[in-house]
A and B are shown apart, each in its own frame.
Chain A
Amino acid sequence: MKIHIPTPLRAYTGGQETITLAAQNVGGALVALTTEFPALRQHLLTPEGKTRSFVNLYLNDDDVRYLPEKDDSPVSDSDELTIIPSIAGGCCL
């Protein structure tokens, strides 16, 4: 499958935007990704190993959090996983 890396995290993938790897499910893809690029780990996961709250994971067009099987959702070579940190803010406190 393909994993798309957002601009700030490409510093940890040797500048690559798209990583192609083989995995059975979403969780497996993340393990494979952070095994290949260990420096990514602390940016994606909390010290307890959970995905950081502001990191959105989309399998094709679906938020992984809302998939029935979440991290266990099966993936195939044609699937795309996008890592996208949130964009938000606002003025005055």
Chain B
Amino acid sequence: MLHIEYVHYEALRAHGEETYPHECCGVLLGRSLAGVNHVREIVRAGNTRTDSAHNRYNIAPQELIKIQRQARTAGLDIVGFYHSHPDHPAQWSTTDFAEAHWIGCSYVITSTDHGRAITTNSFLLAGTTEEDKRFEDESIEIEIAQPQASEIQPGVTEITIHGDPA
């Protein structure tokens, strides 16, 4: 399961709208606890695939190293990545699978149809090696922080969205 605050969820969807008709990409920082990837921060990354940005993305390793350093300083880990599919469904592709190497991480995909973010799905890269890796549909739990009146029980409202089966 992917657990993410609403503001971060909206921010990664907005990123896909901004870069349309190109693919956006970014990194999810947080902690992985008991099989749940908890997102604490999202970091936008540049797409180096300027040759084919409408259907490919790549994050420069130098940028990743900087992001990993930033995570380490904040006491966080890289727990996933996100990218968009301009005018295509929010489902992983053969290329996405072949190029996915971060086992245990969440790969979030947002479809952007005519520049609007439509569906956001998350896929967990499961398995133990390159040879047995697989994408599993993963539910996204969105946390909405609410301003509270003192007598109302403080906390969060949780919405669970299950992966779009389409």
| Interfacial residues, chain A to chain B (CB-CB below 8 A) | 4, 6-8, 11, 17, 42-43, 52, 54-56, 58, 61, 63, 82, 84-93
Contact = CB atoms under 8 A, between A and B. Distances in A.
Interface string B21-55: 00101010000100000000000010001001001
B77 A7 contact: yes
A90 B49 contact: yes
B88 A87 contact: no
Contacts of A85: 101-102
Contacts of B68: 4, 6, 82, 84
Contacts of B105: 7-8
Interface string B69-81: 0001000011101
Nearest to A10: B77
Interface stretch (B90-98, B113-121, B138-146, B149-157): B90-98
Instruction: Determine the interface band of chain B, counting residues with CB < 8 A from chain A.
Output: 35 or more
B93 A90 contact: yes
Interface of B: 23, 25, 27, 32, 45, 49, 52, 55-59, 61-62, 64-65, 68, 72, 77-79, 81, 83, 85-86, 88, 92-96, 99-105, 107, 129-130
Main secondary structure of the interface of B (DSSP, over half): mixed
A90 B95 contact: yes
Contacts of A84: 61, 64-65, 68
Contacts of A55: 101
A61 B69 CA distance: 11
A90 B61 contact: no
B102 A6 contact: yes
Contacts of A90: 23, 49, 52, 55-57, 83, 93, 95-96, 99
A93 B55 CA distance: 9
